[in-house]
């Protein structure tokens, strides 16, 4: 047996993210709108006879636990399949950026292995398996535009917002997500979710109204909030129809009806390493 499959692992941004009540287990209910973008890692999965999982990264060093390896091991354990799995990651999504890069890689591994072995797991089973790896993994399996509730695992597909040019800017190191949650827990009043109003606007095709309602609670408690808000303002000055913070940061993004070279070059000169992509279904 020797089979090989290469899959793009798309990043995601949060168009909207509200942190609601804290749960008894220490996690938090969220209400978020996820959107896939065309910035992707390339994940190659090669299967042969044997019983070991190896992960190789072509252009990045991944510290700590590797979700891609964990995904392969979980798939093999869950299906009872024995195989040697070599995974090669070509990283384009920046690490620790709030773009779900690790989750996207894990999702690509699960989808690839399921395809190689003729779909032993149904889509629902694959999503359930992904959830045990992380709250963003099921969305990365599904993709598109979706409402995420619970801790991010309750997914409801939404109408695609349409294709926009996107600029992703990562200028800072990631703030401690735990610290940011503690700061949010200290709020006197937990705001009620406005996500339903955003969804109503999307369903009516009114993206302008939907974008005007979108927010991200982490932007108010990030260590880099002042600088991130300044970048968001700059993106609007450049013509963005919407700009915000992705996840708990640090990446700031802007969506444009159309990006020209002058704008791209100006942003590169100001912020250095930026990523140009599009929203995608």
CATH architecture of the domain 165-278 equals 2-Layer Sandwich (3.30)
Distance between CA 59 and CA 109 in Å, rounded?
18
- At residue 64, the pLDDT reads 56
Q: Is the pLDDT of residue 65 over 80?
A: no
Q: Other C-beta atoms within 10 Å of 249: how many?
A: 27
**pLDDT classification of 264: cutoffs 50, 70, 90:** very high
Residue of 12, 91, 111, 174 with catalytic role: 12
What's the pLDDT tens digit per position in 3-22?
Answer: 999 999 999 999 999 999 88
Q: Is the pLDDT of residue 174 over 90?
A: no
Contact 95, 101 (CB under 8 A): yes
Range with the lowest mean pLDDT among 63-72, 197-206, 221-230?
63-72
**pLDDT classification of 215: cutoffs 50, 70, 90:** very high
Residue range 145-151: mean pLDDT, rounded: 93
- At residue 66, the pLDDT reads 86
pLDDT above 90 coverage of the chain, percent: 80
What mean pLDDT is reported for the chain? 93
| Maximum CA extent, the chain | 60
- At residue 58, the pLDDT reads 78
- At residue 62, the pLDDT reads 65
- At residue 25, the pLDDT reads 85
Contacts of 213 (CB under 8 A, 6+ apart): 16, 194, 197, 198, 201
Domain ranges for the chain, please list them. Answer: 2-157, 165-278
Residue range 156-161: mean pLDDT, rounded: 95
State both tokens at 166.
């996107």
Range with the lowest mean pLDDT among 44-48, 156-160, 169-173, 210-214?
169-173
Residue of 136, 165, 170, 174 with catalytic role: 136
CATH class of 2-157: alpha beta
pLDDT above 70 coverage of the chain, percent: 98
84 is an active site residue: no
Distance of alpha carbon 218 from its chain centroid, rounded?
A: 15
Range with the lowest mean pLDDT among 59-63, 106-110, 115-119, 139-143?
59-63
Which pTM value belongs to this model?
0.93
**pLDDT classification of 270: cutoffs 50, 70, 90:** very high
State both tokens at 134.
């992380």
Residue range 83-105: mean pLDDT, rounded: 94
- At residue 190, the pLDDT reads 80
Distance between CA 139 and CA 220 in Å, rounded?
25
3 is an active site residue: no
- At residue 151, the pLDDT reads 84
Q: Is the pLDDT of residue 60 over 80?
A: no
- At residue 112, the pLDDT reads 98
Residue of 193 and 251 predicted with greater confidence:
251
Q: Is the pLDDT of residue 121 over 60?
A: yes
């Amino acid at each position: 047996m020797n089979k090989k499959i290469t899959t793009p692992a798309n990043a995601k941004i949060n168009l909207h993210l509200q942190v609601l009540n804290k749960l008894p287990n220490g996690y938090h209910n969220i209400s978020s709108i996820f959107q896939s973008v065309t910035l992707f890692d390339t994940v190659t999965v090669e299967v042969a006879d044997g019983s070991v999982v190896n992960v190789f990264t072509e252009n990045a060093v991944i510290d700590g636990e590797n979700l891609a390896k964990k995904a392969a091991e979980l798939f093999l354990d869950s299906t009872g399949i024995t195989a040697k799995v070599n995974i090669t990651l070509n990283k384009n999504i920046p690490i620790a950026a709030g773009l779900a890069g690790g989750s996207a890689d894990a999702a690509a591994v699960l989808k690839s292995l399921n395809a190689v072995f003729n779909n032993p797991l149904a889509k629902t089973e694959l999503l359930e398996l992904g959830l045990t790896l992380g709250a963003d993994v099921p969305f990365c399996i599904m993709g598109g535009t979706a409402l995420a509730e619970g801790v991010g695992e309750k997914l409801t597909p939404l109408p695609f917002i349409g294709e926009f040019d996107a600029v992703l800017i990562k200028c800072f190191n990631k703030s401690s997500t735990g610290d940011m949650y503690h700061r949010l827990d200290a709020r006197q009043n937990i705001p009620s979710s406005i996500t339903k109003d955003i969804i109503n606007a999307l369903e009516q095709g009114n993206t302008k109204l939907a974008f005007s309602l979108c927010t991200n609670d982490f932007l108010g408690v990030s260590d880099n909030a002042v600088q991130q808000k300044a970048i968001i303002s700059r993106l609007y000055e450049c013509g963005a129809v919407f700009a915000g913070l992705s996840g708990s940061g640090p990446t700031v993004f802007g969506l444009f009806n159309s990006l020209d070279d002058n704008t791209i070059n100006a942003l590169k000169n100001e912020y250095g390493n930026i990523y140009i992509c599009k929203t995608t279904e």
